[in-house]
Chains A and B, each alone.
Chain A
Amino acid sequence: MHLSLDPWIWIAAILMIFIYSFLYKDNPFYKFAEHLVVGVSVGYGIALFYQQQFLPIVYTPLTTDFKNNWHLIVPLVLSTFFLFRFIPKVSWMIRWPIAITLGYGAGIAIPLIIQTSLYEQIRFTMLPLFGTDAGMWLTVVNLLIILGVISCLTYFYFSIKHTGVIGTVSKIGIVFLMVGFGTSFGNTVMARVSLLIGRTSFLMTDWLGLPIIK
């Protein structure tokens, strides 16, 4: 056992134990660590934004070469309008930067998102069922994909009563949805356990220096 002498490792280990103490019950140690992480994250974000974004993109160009960068004043002024929401008389002015951001964002994103998430996904559900080189197995897989898409869409189609054939197909849709939820749940368990393993490994190797099996 080789206990770490690095004070940062000790701080990380102690804070980690504070956070995990919540598993027993809520307590002041947990609260302290929780508030600390929120504060540090926000502080880090603001400092990084100021250093890596505001200074090189806005401040330095305006102060060193105003003639060629005067146009930066327009987005700078518009961005300050976001703060007007705290002044009731002029709070309506926040709509201007929001309108520009939304218009620009929607204009760029909508065609590409439709192409990525709709056209391509639809295109790849138009699958051959027979006559493929890959044989029977691919037919089964493609059939499952087509059945899954149709039955799930039927389940979420609420304009017709789910009885008879529609009811049966929508029930098949539920089976596909359950498989999807099960996969997500299994993956979630794996992810959470991975985090626990990572932290336990840190405590035992980096902090306590225990001889674990490698």
Chain B
Amino acid sequence: MSIFEWLLKIDRKYIFLVIGVLVLASFFIPFKMVIKDTVPVKNVYDSIEKMDENSCVLISFDFDPSAEPELLPMSKAIIRQCLRNKVKVVAIALWPQGVGLAENSLTTVAEEIGAKRGKDWVNLGWKVGMFQVVLAIGEDITKTFSKDNAGTPTKNMEIFEKVKNYNDIDLVITLAAGNSPDTWVTFAGTKYKAKIAAGVTAVMAADYYPYLQTKQMIGLVNGLKGAAEYETLVGKPEKAVRGMTPQSAIHIAIILFILLGNIGYFLTKNKK
């Protein structure tokens, strides 16, 4: 049996083992990746940087804990940039599990910056219905969410003094692990002409590039790599940037596996 025949029959447990060891080892190797920003990520960053004080960004937490490693660092970096620039943050969730994740990101960053709930940021929680919620915000956000996640009535909140609907929201960012970017583009972008950006898990990123080309989205933050770019742009490298070394190590390993697998396949195919 040649080495390639052996490789083609190798138990996949060994591949998992190699990947596991590589991830563990990468956390202890003092090697920093150079993170260069890409145009879709920079567009989101620039659009917030250009906003005046007291502008408003709506962030929709449309994911659950399974997408946390990719989307939570992204959310923290975006919220940090907004609150630092005194841009108001209104958070909602189209997925029920997104409420707790939003609260985690908002309270962590707000504490660090000294931003106040109800004045600089608010977590409105979850509302049932996907596109119905998106459409209802176009009419009146405080009627759609009469109370915030903590049970405080939204009607008299300082943050909503000048914010009623999409006309007063400068950017909508959907952090999504499902197809909610389609919902936002269709029902907020097309109907109400709201400016949309998305932060998505890498699995689904390829599906949303057409919206960039058509300018239906102003920017796209793609997976952990996008989050690392955003953390770098904001100037506070955290979990996403730390994840780039193991990510690169595993990518090299997987490329090698694919090459070896293909070479082995073609060599053994000729033998057969």
Contacts and interface: CB of A to CB of B under 8 A. Distances in A.
Interface of A: 23-24, 41, 44-45, 48-49, 52-53, 56, 105, 108-109, 112-113, 115-117, 120-121, 123-124, 145, 180, 183-184, 187-201, 204, 210, 212-214
B224 A213 contact: no
B70 interface: yes
Contacts of A120: 190, 214, 216
B246 A191 contact: no
Interface in B219-265: 222-225, 239, 242-243, 245-247, 250-251, 254
Contact of A191 (B147, B190, B201): B201
B102 to A, nearest CB: 13
B3 interface: no
29 contacts: A23-B13, A23-B16, A44-B97, A49-B96, A52-B126, A52-B127, A108-B135, A112-B191, A113-B186, A116-B185, A117-B182, A120-B190, A121-B214, A145-B213, A187-B222, A188-B202, A190-B223, A190-B247, A190-B251, A193-B247, A194-B243, A197-B23, A198-B239, A199-B69, A200-B20, A200-B23, A200-B246, A212-B28, A213-B30
Given A201-B242, A212-B28, A214-B242, 19 more contacts: A24-B13, A41-B97, A108-B131, A108-B135, A112-B187, A112-B190, A115-B190, A116-B185, A116-B189, A117-B182, A180-B206, A187-B203, A190-B224, A193-B246, A194-B247, A197-B247, A201-B69, A201-B239, A210-B27
Contacts of B210: 121
Contacts of B187: 112
Contacts of A49: 96, 128
Contacts of A45: 96
B65 to A, nearest CB: 9
Given A45-B96, A123-B214, A190-B223, A201 B27 contact: yes
A183 B204 CA distance: 10
B47 interface: no
Given A191-B203, A198-B70, A213 B27 contact: yes
Nearest to B66: A195
B81 to A, nearest CB: 21
Interface string B11-29: 0010010011001100111
A48 B99 CA distance: 10
A180 B246 CA distance: 25
Contacts of B245: 213
Contacts of B30: 213
A43 B13 CA distance: 34
Interface in B82-116: 96-97, 99
Given A194-B243, A200-B27, A184 B214 contact: no
Nearest to B186: A116
B224 A53 contact: no
Contact of A193 (B96, B99, B216, B251): B251
Most buried by A among B128, B146, B182: B128
A115 B148 CA distance: 33
A126 B27 CA distance: 48
